[in-house]
Amino acid sequence: MRELARVVSFLLSIYNIMILVRIITSWIQPVRPVKNSSVLDIIARFTDPFLNIFRRVRFLRFQRFDFSVLLALMSISIVQNIISTYSVTGKMSVGYILATIVQSLWWSFFSIFLGIIIILLIIRLVLTYKRTPNTVQYTMLLNQWLQKVLDLVHTSIFSGKAVSDRTLLYTATILGVLLYIALMNLIQIAVRYLVQLPF
């Protein structure tokens, strides 16, 4: 049984690589698609049905960002980690499975999402100190992407009172970093607890 788990884990690694190749080739499409590109067609036939499951989930798309592929890769990673651990130890518990899921959700999705928001807030904050005609376009774009976050901070912390852009951005950035640190520590505590579950 452990040998079968090793084979399945290896096959999932190959499938993960195929998905990455599919994603990269979809970004770098030639001007004229090559017909009968057998290797890419085979990869597309194997990976697209799985990827389409996640592409249908609407909340995984945030403005111009599409996190559906990230969730697809994460789900394969979770299954692969569980099977790989079983192939090495010969043991499996519900606690370990839950810990793997929680940890993978954090590191593969939520930490990246929150990290991107923090980086965008920092860039937007820097742009408040460098006002040139070129930065106006970037500022407007960042404002569109960060509008919900900034509105939440504005209503929650400042009760909708008038504050400067810099104050709002400093506050949102500091809160974002603190939230990231707090969630990271909570995830570590939860994982330690879940791994120790007896069942």
The tens digit of pLDDT for each residue in 99-123 reads: 888 988 888 778 888 999 999 999 9
Q: Is the domain of 67 the same as that of 147?
A: no
Q: Are residues 159 and 70 in the same domain?
A: no
In a 13 Å sphere around the CA of 69, the CA atoms on its Cβ side amount to 15
Copy the structure tokens of residue 112: 């990246």
Q: SS3 for the chain, per residue?
A: CHHHHHHHHHHHHHHHHHHHHHHHHHHCCCCCCCCCCHHHHHHHHHHHHHHHHHHCCHHHEECCEECHHHHHHHHHHHHHHHHHHHHHHCCCCHHHHHHHHHHHHHHHHHHHHHHHHHHHHHHHHHHHHCCCHHHHHHHHHHHHHHHHHHHHHHHHHHCCCCCCHHHHHHHHHHHHHHHHHHHHHHHHHHHHHHHCCCC
Please say if the pLDDT value at position 32 is more than 60: no
72 and 156 within one domain: no
Residue 118 and residue 48 share a domain: no
Work out the pLDDT band at 31, boundaries 50, 70, 90: very low
Higher-confidence residue of 7 and 23: namely 7
Query: Are residues 87 and 114 both part of a single domain?
Result: no
The answer to whether residues 105 and 67 belong to one domain is no
Contacts 24+ apart (CB under 8 A), 44-47: 46/15, 46/18, 47/15, 47/18, 47/19, 47/22
Task: List pLDDT tens digits, range 49-94.
Answer: 998 898 888 777 766 667 788 888 888 988 988 888 888 888 788 8
Judgement on whether residues 10 and 84 belong to the same structural domain of the protein: yes
Nearest to 170 by CA among 121, 133, 107: 121
User: For the chain, what is the domain count?
Assistant: 2
pTM for this predicted structure:
0.69
CB under 8 A, 24+ apart: contacts of 157-166: 165/128, 166/125, 166/128
- What percentage of the chain carries pLDDT values higher than 90? 35
Q: What integer pLDDT is reported at residue 39 of this predicted model?
A: 83
> Quick one: 33 and 105 in the same domain?
no
- Verify that 199 and 162 share a domain, yes or no: yes
Lowest-confidence segment of 16-20, 101-105, 146-150, 176-180 by average pLDDT: 101-105
Domain of residue 114, residue span: 93-199
Q: Which of 22-26, 58-62, 120-124, 152-156 has the lowest mean pLDDT?
A: 58-62
- Residues above pLDDT 70, as percent of the chain: 92
With 60 as the cut, is the pLDDT of residue 158 above it? yes
Co-location of 71 and 107 in the same domain = no
Q: Is the pLDDT of residue 4 over 60?
A: yes
* The domain boundary residue, chosen from 35, 57, 92: 92
The confidence score (pLDDT) of residue 41 equals 84
Same domain, 104 and 194: yes
Average pLDDT, stretch 172-193? Answer: 95
Q: Say yes or no: 122 and 175 in one domain.
A: yes
Domain boundary residue among 47, 75, 92? 92
Nearest to 86 by CA among 98, 75, 97, 76: 97
Query: For residues 71 and 183, what is the distance between their CA atoms, to the nearest angstrom?
Result: 19
Q: Which of 26, 59, 92 is the last residue of a domain?
A: 92
Give yes or no for a contact between 9 and 87, defined as CB atoms under 8 angstroms apart.
yes
pLDDT higher for 183 or 88? 183
> For residues 21 and 93, what is the distance between their CA atoms, to the nearest angstrom?
33
